[in-house]
């Protein structure tokens, strides 16, 4: 009860000036620490279960960090791993409540962005991502195809818009765009066509350089997806054909061009809780936060190295979403691959924890997806509505991108 009251008070404080806010935060931190000092003694140790990243028993030291996160008036990029870890390891129900409180100050809690994803070029990828059905290195039964025709893609976008989607995402299974000038020209026409419909356009094409990013920007591209997948430390266990820094370089090229960045990860790759923290830390310490942060859960594909993996525990999914919301307050957090396996109640828990976007439609890239009618019916039952397109996050600057490139060049 004390935590609930404190959360409501903190939300009101956010409307005050910094001078008014400082003494109030000091009082709150003191009260919160006293409350946690009294209740923590009654906290039972959490029992770990197989493949679970459930947090360890709670430490009262987490209180001030979490309280400051809830009281934030704007995103910050000075997070430490220890701070993010303290938030992540907060008792789950309190963590979700505080994430929901912050979410309501930065976003309309009833609005969920509806995105539709189309695979415009399937399979034949030279990468060795351990989870991916589209790698040419694995026998998954997937047939490789050439790039889809522009008219076919735009017809799919029209159907998506008619069904309520505001963002149309196009994915091609390539390592990079080197030597693909004609394909890039066709993709530019796809982007222009989607934007002409009044929809946001997003693509994921593998690694791109600055010149290619500029072409996509000129076409009107809203966002470019390039996931980090996991923490820097766990990454070599999942992929060896592309480095972590190569992914960060592509993100920098996208940001330099003034395109919104969409980058997140996949849960269930054999990682530990600290890898969820590490992923969020990498994203949160970029000079500006991404416009959107997709949270995927592994869909095991037979024939891939991770094809026999067990599902990740749901508490780890919620904990990651809630932590990302508190650390990335202005970013859109997207429930991506794996959502179809969640019950409606689990999805609502994710929305409460701060998720506010989904993929909806006929299919993901190679896996099934919840359909428009199913999602709209779910929205109606729970009082949710589609988010309107507003090019959220369009204040990305080239200066911020250059700073990002310098930062990771120095630390890489």
Question: Annotated active-site positions, please?
Answer: 125, 129, 132, 169, 202, 262, 334
Q: Which two tokens stand for residue 236?
A: 């070599």
Q: Phi/psi of residue 162, each to 5°?
A: -60, -25
Residue pair 323/92 in contact (Cβ under 8 Å)? The answer is no
176 forms beta bridges with: 207
Where does residue 387 fall: left (phi above 0), alpha (psi -120 to 50 degrees), or beta otherwise? Answer: beta
Look up residue 395 and give its two tokens: 């204040």
Q: Measured in whole angstroms, how far is the alpha carbon of residue 19 from the centre of its chain?
A: 33
Distance CA 54, CA 331 (A): 25
Report whether 368 contacts 398 (CB < 8 A).
no
**Dist. CA 224–CA 293, nearest whole Å:** 12
For the chain, first and last CA: distance in Å? 45
CB burial of 188-221 (b: ≥16 within 10 Å; e: otherwise) equals bebbbbbbeeebbbbbbbbbbebebbbbbbebbb
Task: Compute φ and ψ for 135, nearest 5 degrees.
Answer: -70, 135
Question: Nearest 5°: CA angle at 29, between 27 and 33?
Answer: 120
């Amino acid at each position: 009860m004390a935590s609930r009251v404190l959360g409501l008070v903190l939300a009101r404080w956010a409307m005050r000036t910094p001078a008014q806010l400082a003494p109030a935060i000091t009082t709150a931190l003191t009260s919160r620490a006293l409350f946690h000092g009294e209740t923590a003694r009654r906290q039972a140790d959490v029992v770990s279960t197989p493949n679970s990243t459930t947090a360890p028993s709670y430490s009262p030291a987490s209180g001030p960090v979490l309280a400051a996160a809830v009281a934030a008036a704007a995103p910050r990029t000075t997070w430490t791993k220890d701070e993010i870890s303290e938030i992540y390891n907060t008792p789950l129900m309190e963590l979700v409540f505080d994430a929901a409180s912050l979410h309501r100050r930065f976003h309309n809690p009833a609005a969920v962005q509806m995105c539709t994803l189309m695979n415009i070029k399937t399979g034949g990828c030279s990468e060795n991502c351990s989870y991916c059905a589209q790698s040419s290195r694995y026998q998954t039964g997937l047939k490789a195809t050439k790039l889809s025709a522009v008219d076919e893609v735009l017809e799919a976008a029209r159907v998506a818009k008619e069904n309520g989607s505001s963002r149309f995402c196009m994915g091609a299974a390539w390592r990079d765009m080197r030597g693909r000038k004609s394909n890039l020209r066709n993709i530019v026409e796809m982007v222009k066509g989607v934007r002409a419909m009044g929809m946001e356009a997003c693509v994921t094409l593998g690694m791109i350089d600055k010149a290619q990013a500029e072409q996509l920007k000129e076409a009107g591209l809203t966002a470019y997806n390039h996931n980090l997948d996991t923490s820097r430390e766990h990454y070599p266990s999942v992929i060896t054909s592309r480095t972590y820094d190569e992914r960060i370089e592509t993100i920098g090229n996208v940001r330099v061009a003034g395109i919104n960045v969409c980058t997140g990860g996949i849960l269930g790759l054999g990682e530990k809780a600290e890898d969820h923290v590490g992923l969020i830390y990498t994203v949160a310490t970029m000079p500006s936060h991404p416009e959107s942060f997709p949270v995927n859960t592994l869909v095991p594909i037979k024939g891939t190295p991770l094809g026999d993996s067990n599902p990740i525990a749901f508490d780890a999914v919620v904990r990651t979403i809630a932590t990302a919301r508190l650390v990335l307050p202005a970013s859109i957090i997207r429930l991506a691959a794996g959502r179809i396996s969640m019950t409606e109640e689990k999805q609502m828990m994710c929305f409460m924890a701060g998720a506010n976007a989904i993929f909806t439609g006929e299919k993901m890239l190679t896996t099934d997806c919840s359909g428009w009618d199913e999602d709209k019916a779910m929205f109606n039952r729970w009082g949710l509505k589609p988010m309107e397109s507003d090019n959220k996050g369009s204040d990305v600057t080239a200066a911020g991108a250059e700073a990002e490139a310098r930062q990771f060049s120095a630390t890489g």
